[in-house]
Structure 1
Amino acid sequence: MTDTYIRGVGMTRFGRHTGTYATDLAQEAIFAALRDADTRLDEIEAVYCANVFGGMILGQVLVRDLGLKGIPVYNVENACASGATAVHLARHALKAGEYRNVLVVGIEMLTQLGGGTIPLQRNDDKTELYAQAGMVLPAVYAMRGTRFLHEGRGTRADLAAVAVKNRAHGALNEYAQQRTPVTGGEVLSSRTIADPLTLLQCCPSQVDGAAALVLGTAPQGSKPVKVLASIVQSGIAESADDDILDAEITARAARLAYEQAGVGPGDVGVVELHDAFTIAELLYYEALGLAGPGEAVSLLHSGATRVGGRVPVNPSGGLLAKGHPLGATGVAQMVEVAWHLQGRAGARQSGAPRIGLTQCTGGGIAGVDHAASSVHILGV
């Protein structure tokens, strides 16, 4: 099977892009990735477009004006894991020898939804209990946070410390939506969204952005980034007594990714994970094997996950500060990790990591941990 490399990366600033069309935003990221890959547009043999709320055939709309001559365009929707899933599918085609160079682009214009929380599922689906009950993701994660506090695994200040760390990282990132450092007191005193989660512990819902990768079967540059593992898993139906704090789908995806890459958690030098809410980062420390059971808070306060620490987590600012334009998130995580592996992360650079990991979950549906979870491991 053919090896797969990230040949070039590009992304836009995440934030409110009022008056900008999705086509313009996506093409900004696409051309940045092509320049970075030193690849011509006519060398691209297929396009994978990840998006959640943009409607049908968005990929074809985005590339219509690029002059591509009828090549395959694949539209991928898998909730927040859409971008990562698009990379997963593109890698399969490359490894099978179907293509030599492909483009993956993730794009989302959440400001067009008009604000508020992101809907989980169609509320006219009588089988989807979350939607029928009016459940929203902040409430789902708030239940996890409440249980975390109830079991004595951490405090409200510990949850706030995640936001303090990631917003400090975001202040270093010119692509991040939120670039203002905050204190623990400011996090805790911000408006309550779903107790115990306050406003500054939730990723912003009004954000637009795009990110792109050129993937290929030949290495590019003096420090090529290889895709060592690509895993996508779906949720398993839970029983009534399942632990709400057990991120089973992510732990399963991580275990398969480590096996596929032939590395372990101790080899990872930089991580971008799905911190849509502060409690999520702490749970994923343990699911990814970065911390042992019950040791997530200790890992956080040790400084190991800060920029400059042993294994920086969300040096981009994560979803909390960089922003979470759904279809773009999984791709943008890989852009950030590729920059770190190549020593191109600027003020966020921590040493010279050789292995990086991205993790993205997606979809809140009743009866499973998550609808989808993806883990990718990159290396130089």
Structure 2
Amino acid sequence: MHRLNAWFRRHPMVVDSAWALLLASFALLSTGNQSGWREQASYVLAGLVGGMMVWRRQHPNATTVAAVVLGLGQLAGHVNPGVESIGYLVFAYTGAAYGAVWTSRLALVAGLAAGPLTLARFHEVGAATQGAPQVIFFSVLMSTPFVLCWAWGRLTRVRRAYLTELEDRAARLERERGAQAKIAVAAERARIARELHDVVAHNVSVMIVQADGAAYVLDNSPQQAKEALGTIASTGRQALVEMRRLLGVLRTTDTAEEYVPQPGVAELPELLDQVRTAGLPVDFDSAGDPQELPRGVELTVYRIVQEALTNVRKHGGPDVRARVAVDFRDRELEVLIEDDGRGSTDDQLVVGGSDGPGHGLIGMRERVGMVSGSLDIGPRPGGGFRIRAVLPLKTIK
């Protein structure tokens, strides 16, 4: 039954043709109550009304106008109403449901005028009524079916427009959902790229420095070479743990495994100890009352310090010292990393020096921008380089 109804909806002319054939058949069988040319006119009228019903949905404006003209011609020719007059109700519905605005208005006016004009023209009905109240009553009574069919057509138009709007909205939401999914994927890829860059750039640079040092003192000081190798091993294990934690978010089936939490401000002393072990002297200062921060801000602070110290090792030159300061304020958190080395330009830091292309400063700016903070990068007065990040606390809570 559902398939049959769907087929009829896709082929409305079949339904209209069936109703038109039924109406025309009954109309042709009931036209024997007139004589002369009016009887012939009744046959023609029944055929025309049935034919117009077949094409009413494809040409609603033309068929509605033609129905009004036929109705007026029937009144003018004094051709008695028959079964074919039911078709006029169909065209009142058609003009309201499928026609243009002017067609809908024409159908309403014709429907309202149908009762009074029919009552006035066919005096046999008018003779049975006495007085204005009776005339008005019968006029309204005869016009009511046309008005009801017109109202039904308007409801059909409104319902069809509402369904069309729902379909358009669903299609638009589907497109927006697809676009949002693509944006989310791109954002996640950028986040993972930043994390991988920070993990690899920092830990691998430490391992390279230690490996170079071990190779340099291997013959003269085996103990120092052994300590350097131990540092390389511990740094590699730490990098492996962080990469497993990071890549774990890409696994959809292994959700039960616990991963190491992302580093934050509390892990900065461990990071600085690792940097000092790698041969870079670092001073650390903390001011203000430490407070609990969102995980995104915690990770941003840690990665900024990590990337900045990596750049100091790569570009600071010999005998360089660094300083890290974290200042907790009422409305903001300030992170300052500076060194007294030879410094470097922004382009050199972005490119990554002799180690190949990198995206250190770009990643910093992206992280700070995600928490609505500000980043100041440039040479330090008196020599060296400075990175200053200010992260608002009130707006991110």
- Structure with higher Rg: it is 2
Flag the structure with higher helix content: 2
Structure that is richer in strand per residue:
1
TM range (shorter): under 0.3
TM-score when normalising by structure 1:
0.22
